[in-house]
C-alpha cells in the first residue's frame, strides 16, 4: 500500500455513534497530524447530554435483543465485526497511521492485526468458558452442590489512550461484549479516526443499536469526565496515565463501581553477562524505541552486568544511530513521530532535565531536521543516557518517549532492588542464558509481567496488568471474563 502521507489531507468529519446512529454536535475540535501539523479532521465533541444519551441507550440495549442473546450469537457478531475490519483493513491502517504517525508496517502487523485477533480470541474464550462446580461433603454426611453463573455487569465505560488506539479499544470491547455487557467508549482526543471506523464496523456487522456507543472528546470538563462521573455506569475500564487513573478512581468512588486500570510504567530490562549479546541488544533496541517509546511496556531503564556494560552501550549506540526515523511508508522506517507537539514538549523537557540531573547523552537528545513538512511534525531522536542516579526524576518518572538509560550492576540482589525501586510495577525483561537464574529472579520483580529473552510477546489468554502506580486488576483470558461479569454462586443442599 502506498499512502501519500506527505500530501495535505482531505479534511474529514468524525462523529459520535450513539444508539445505532452517527450523531453530530455543535462543538468541534481539530484532529492534527503529528507528521506535518496539518488538520486531518473535524471531530464532533460529545457534551454531558450526549454522554447521558449514550449511557441510557446502553442501559436500554441490555433489555433488548442483545440481552436475550446466547453467547454463541454474541460470538458470531464479534466475528462479523472482525470480518468488517479485515475487509476494510487498509482504511483502518491509514486511519491509525494518520492519527499517530507510526510506520505503516507496524499499523498493519500490530495495531489492526491485533484488533482483529482481540475480537476473534475473546469470541472464542467467551464461548468456551465454564463456571466453577464443587461438591461439598458436610460433617453429618449430607452434601452440597455449588455452581457459578456468570452474568453481565451492565453498562461498561471504556476510556482509552492514544498510544495503541484500536488495539486498546478492542482489548476492552471484545471481552466486555462477549460477557453480554453494553458499552460507551471514549477514545483519546488524539486518535478519533480508527475509533470512528470501529463504530462503523459494529454498525455494518449488525450489532444491535445501543450495544456499542462511541463518544468523542477530552478528559476534564468533557466527555471523559462526564462518562466517568455518570451514575448509571456499572464499571469503568481505563487505560492511560496513572494521574488520570487517580482522578477517575475518585470520580467512581461514591458509586463503589468496578474498575480495571492499566496505567503507566517505568519498566526495566536487565541484561546479564551470559546473555546472547546480539539478541539482547536487538531486544533492548525494540523494547526501548518501538512505537517511538510510546508503549506502556517499553524499557526506559536498562541494567547491564558490569563485564559487558561498555560493549553493550557501544553496540546500543551503533544500532540506535542506524534506526531510520521518517515517513510512515518509507522503506525500512523504524520510527515515526510522537503523538503530538504537546507530547513532544513533554519528552523534550525530560531530555533537558536529564542533562541537568547529570546524564551523559550517548546518542540523540534532540529533534531530527528533515528540511520538509516533517519539521512541523512531532519527531524526536531516539535517545540513550548513562550516568544518572536511580533516584533522579528521569529514572523515576515515565517519559513515554524513545529514550532509555543504561546503568551497570554487579549482583543479582542489587539489580532486583534497583528494578523494584520505582512506584510503578508493570513489566520487566531479563536477558540471560541461565534459565535457573531467570526463574529465580523473575518472580522477585514487583511487576505484572516478566519477559525472559523476549519482549512484547503476548498470549491473550494470560493475565495482563500492573501493580503500584501501574494499575489495578488483571485482564486477558478468563481474567477479563472475571472483570466483565458478575458471578453468582448457587448452593444446593442435595
Binding residues for ligand NAD, rule: CB under 6 A, are 159-163, 186, 188-189, 218-220, 224-225, 228, 239-241, 244, 247-248, 262-265, 296, 398, 400, 426, 466, 470-471
Closest CB to ligand NAD among 139 and 220? 220
Sheet-wide strand order for 427-431: 360-363, 383-386, 403-409, 299-305, 267-271, 427-431, 449-452
Closest CB to ligand NAD among 55 and 275? 55
Query: CA dist 388 to 222, 293, 393, 438, Å?
Result: 39, 19, 9, 26
Task: Record the cell numbers describing residue 295, joined without a space.
Answer: 508503549
Closest CB to ligand NAD among 31 and 386? 31
296 is catalytic: yes
Matching residue, cell 477514545: 187
In sequence order, which residues have a C-beta less than 8 Å from that of residue 87 and are 6 or more positions away?
A: none
Catalytic residue among 258, 262, 305, 475: 262
- Residues 448 and 471 sit within 8 Å (Cβ to Cβ): yes
Closest CB to ligand NAD among 190 and 305? 190
Q: CB 247 → ligand NAD: shortest distance, Å?
A: 4
- Residues 184 and 56 sit within 8 Å (Cβ to Cβ): no
**Separation of alpha carbons 145 and 133, rounded Å:** 7
Q: CB 313 → ligand NAD: shortest distance, Å?
A: 26
Q: CB 9 → ligand NAD: shortest distance, Å?
A: 22
Q: Residue 424: beta bridge partners?
A: 468
| Residue 431 CA neighbour count, 13 Å, CB half | 27
Element (H, E) at 350: helix 341-356
In sequence order, which residues have a C-beta less than 8 Å from that of residue 276 and are 6 or more positions away?
A: 431, 433, 453
Q: CB 235 → ligand NAD: shortest distance, Å?
A: 15
DSSP state of 344: H
Q: CB 453 → ligand NAD: shortest distance, Å?
A: 22
Q: CB 127 → ligand NAD: shortest distance, Å?
A: 25
**Separation of alpha carbons 443 and 11, rounded Å:** 50
Element (H, E) at 151: strand 143-152
Q: CB 218 → ligand NAD: shortest distance, Å?
A: 5
Closest CB to ligand NAD among 206 and 423? 423
Closest CB to ligand NAD among 147 and 456? 456
Give me Rg for the CA atoms of the chain: 23
Q: CB 168 → ligand NAD: shortest distance, Å?
A: 6
In sequence order, which residues have a C-beta less than 8 Å from that of residue 105 and are 6 or more positions away?
A: 333
Q: CB 5 → ligand NAD: shortest distance, Å?
A: 22
Catalytic residue among 179, 296, 394, 429: 296
Residue 494, exposed/middle/buried by CB under 10 A (0-12, 13-18, 19+)?
exposed
Closest CB to ligand NAD among 309 and 351? 351
Residue, CB closest to ligand NAD: 219
- Residues 285 and 313 sit within 8 Å (Cβ to Cβ): no
Closest CB to ligand NAD among 336 and 471? 471
Task: Record the cell numbers describing residue 250, joined without a space.
Answer: 475518585
- Residues 297 and 448 sit within 8 Å (Cβ to Cβ): no
- Cβ-based neighbour number of residue 427 at 10 Å: 26
Closest CB to ligand NAD among 275 and 426? 426
330 is catalytic: no
SS3 159: strand
**Separation of alpha carbons 399 and 294, rounded Å:** 9
At residue 404, φ and ψ (nearest 5 deg) are: -140, 155
Catalytic residue IDs: 262, 296
Amino acid at each position: 500500500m502506498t499512502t501519500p502521507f506527505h500530501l495535505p489531507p482531505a479534511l474529514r468529519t468524525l462523529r459520535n455513534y450513539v444508539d445505532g446512529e452517527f450523531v453530530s454536535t455543535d462543538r468541534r475540535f481539530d484532529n492534527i497530524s503529528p507528521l506535518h501539523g496539518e488538520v486531518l479532521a473535524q471531530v464532533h465533541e460529545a457534551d454531558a447530554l450526549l454522554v447521558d444519551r449514550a449511557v441510557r441507550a446502553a442501559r436500554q440495549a441490555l433489555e433488548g435483543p442483545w440481552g436475550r442473546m446466547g453467547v454463541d450469537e454474541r460470538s458470531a457478531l464479534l466475528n462479523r465485526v472482525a470480518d468488517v475490519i479485515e475487509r476494510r483493513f487498509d482504511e483502518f491502517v491509514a486511519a491509525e497511521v494518520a492519527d499517530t504517525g507510526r510506520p505503516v508496517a507496524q499499523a498493519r502487523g500490530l495495531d489492526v492485526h491485533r484488533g482483529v485477533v482481540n475480537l476473534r480470541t475473546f469470541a472464542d474464550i467467551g464461548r468456551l468458558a465454564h463456571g466453577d462446580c464443587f461438591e461439598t461433603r458436610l460433617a453429618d454426611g449430607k452434601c452440597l452442590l455449588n455452581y457459578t453463573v456468570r452474568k453481565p455487569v451492565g453498562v461498561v465505560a471504556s476510556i482509552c489512550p492514544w498510544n495503541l488506539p484500536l488495539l486498546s479499544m478492542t482489548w476492552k470491547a471484545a471481552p466486555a461484549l462477549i460477557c453480554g455487557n453494553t458499552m460507551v467508549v471514549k477514545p483519546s482526543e488524539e486518535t478519533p479516526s480508527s475509533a470512528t471506523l470501529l463504530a462503523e464496523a459494529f454498525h455494518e456487522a449488525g450489532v444491535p443499536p445501543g450495544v456499542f456507543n462511541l463518544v468523542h472528546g477530552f478528559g476534564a470538563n468533557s466527555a471523559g469526565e462526564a462518562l466517568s462521573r455518570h451514575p448509571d455506569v456499572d464499571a469503568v475500564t481505563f487505560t492511560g496515565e496513572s494521574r488520570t487513573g487517580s482522578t477517575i478512581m475518585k470520580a467512581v468512588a461514591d458509586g463503589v463501581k468496578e474498575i480495571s486500570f492499566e496505567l503507566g510504567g517505568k519498566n526495566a530490562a536487565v541484561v546479564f553477562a551470559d546473555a546472547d549479546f546480539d539478541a539482547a541488544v536487538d531486544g533492548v533496541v525494540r523494547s526501548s524505541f518501538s512505537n517511538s517509546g510510546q508503549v506502556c511496556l517499553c524499557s526506559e531503564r536498562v541494567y547491564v552486568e558490569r563485564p559487558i556494560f561498555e560493549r553493550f552501550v557501544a553496540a546500543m549506540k551503533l544500532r540506535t544511530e542506524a534506526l531510520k526515523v521518517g515517513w510512515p511508508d518509507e522503506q525500512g522506517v523504524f520510527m515515526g513521530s510522537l503523538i503530538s507537539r504537546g507530547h513532544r514538549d513533554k519528552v523534550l523537557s525530560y531530555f533537558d532535565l536529564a542533562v541537568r540531573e547529570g546524564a551523559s547523552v550517548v546518542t540523540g537528545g534532540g529533534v531530527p531536521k528533515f528540511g520538509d513538512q516533517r519539521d512541523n511534525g512531532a519527531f524526536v531522536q531516539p535517545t540513550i543516557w548513562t550516568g544518572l542516579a536511580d533516584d533522579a526524576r528521569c529514572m523515576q518518572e515515565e517519559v513515554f518517549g524513545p529514550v532509555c538509560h543504561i546503568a551497570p550492576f554487579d549482583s543479582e540482589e542489587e539489580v532486583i532492588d534497583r528494578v523494584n525501586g520505582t512506584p510503578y510495577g508493570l513489566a520487566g525483561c531479563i536477558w540471560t542464558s541461565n534459565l535457573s537464574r531467570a526463574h529465580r529472579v523473575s518472580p522477585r520483580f514487583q511487576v505484572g509481567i516478566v519477559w525472559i529473552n523476549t519482549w512484547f510477546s503476548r498470549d491473550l489468554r494470560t493475565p495482563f496488568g500492573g501493580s503500584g502506580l501501574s494499575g489495578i486488576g488483571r485482564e486477558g483470558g478468563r481474567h477479563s471474563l472475571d472483570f466483565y461479569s458478575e458471578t453468582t454462586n448457587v448452593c444446593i443442599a442435595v
